[in-house]
Structure 1
């Protein structure tokens, strides 16, 4: 059984002690927010929930962007690096901001997390100041099927915990500012035969829909899924749907069509909450 790589998140008391800098100390160097980032632990389950919504003063989070607005797709071997940007504002300016991704029905029962990567002696966020009061801080996170993406249970919707601190020590924490999706990578193949084929004869189109299994780090067939068979003529750039079929108990696809003209056949899968959309590379058929 694979060892779960889980997250020991900071408690509310730890977060507040690190963030809440008295106004009298505002002239002193502020703390490195990396001290707030949940640390990875292979020895214990998710130990404590991230702090609930907290704030002091007038620091505000304006927006959070995860992976450029795209879903995070993870396979079985390759680490997926992506950026998260936190834009925050404070009348005295922003000192730093950062996010953490977490999974679970609620913070009290979270079962996974993805934390920012850090360099020694560096702040978590790399902040760009658009004005004296507003900054966008970017961090890099890594979804790794060998560590923090430990099983299929983690596929689907994740929540984004975000924090920001002003130069005057004001701060804000949002337990679940927004959501994003972490998905199991998908693959789709197609083969149309025979090639070449006489016009009017039957073409058999086979293929397979599969997706990453984070429990055993292999790809398995994605069963009972609707998949479109599509065709585009030789000199066209547009695919049209011929029919829709379902993958069988092993993810295999098979159907037949009549040969009409030269062109490319492909299968197309629209995706689900846990698995991204994917198109097979078109297979050319020469019709005589």
Structure 2
């Protein structure tokens, strides 16, 4: 969805939920959750009256100290299937934090970008100390709403609400990569083959196309042809070949001993690394 709509939904939900959040104490280990929606947060009782006094004492602007999505790993999406990933956000303010949630977005700016916000179910927060709270939950991405150009590094924004009522937002608290799922095949032939004869190892490198909702060949990419002798523990790179304009791979080598052949792609910024299944070749 458009990122402005995402931010509006996040901020509105947290603003409502924070009405019931208690002021944190230094030794407080309380937590609250939103398993039935953001507006259903149910924290422990007590300390709510201290919010009013917090505003007068406030001197430091709220800060986002941590914002991690998918444990910092790239988010890899197929053609149409939605994918849900975890997040953890920590924010701090002199008056305490009533709630904090991330939104991830891509584009030239936040007004026109595309993005996704947190899911209501499973959203929870835990008081760390009098000024700091950590909130965790999940974000679901839908590739049907994306274009191929969105396979890039996304910004992780955070909206938070301090207990004195001040809202603060960081459009780029951290980053996370969003990538197009890749697939790779390998086939060695003829089989069986006589020792010293030439074999051909074919394959194809494809990746998700979010605009056609299908997989398409990934052109002009270097891919390693690797071999593991029967009984050996590791593969050795024999040569590197490039995919054709349609993602096709073809390499010829001399057969010497029985073993497994495969292709291995190192990946790019928009596409994750992938290794094909191994094809065993019997050499007579």
* TM-score interval, normalised by the smaller of the two chains: 0.7 to 0.9
The two structures have a TM-score, normalised by structure 1, of 0.77
| Secondary structure of residue in 2 paired with 1:109 | coil
Name 1:143's counterpart in structure 2.
Answer: 141
Q: Does 1:97 align with 2:100?
A: yes
Cα displacement (A) at 1:156: 1.0
Q: 1:254-288: per-residue Cα shift (whole Å, max 9, x none)?
A: 01111122221111111111111110011111222
CA distance in 2, matches of 1:234, 1:136: 51
CA distance in 2, matches of 1:161, 1:265: 44
Q: Over aligned residues, Cα RMSD in angstroms? A: 3.0
- Asked if 2 retains the 8 angstrom alpha-carbon contact of 1:56 and 1:171, the reply is no
Structure ranking higher in helix proportion: 2
The two structures have a TM-score, normalised by structure 2, of 0.78
| Consecutive unaligned residues in structure 2, runs of 5 or more | 23-33, 40-57
1:1-288 equivalences in 2 (<5 Å): 5-9=1-5, 29=20, 57-110=60-113, 112-119=114-121, 125-146=123-144, 148-149=145-146, 151-288=147-284
CA 1:205/1:108 → structure 2, altered by over 3 Å: closer, same or farther?
same
CA distance in 2, matches of 1:56, 1:177: 22
Deviates more, 1:125-134 or 1:254-263: 125-134
Larger Rg: 2
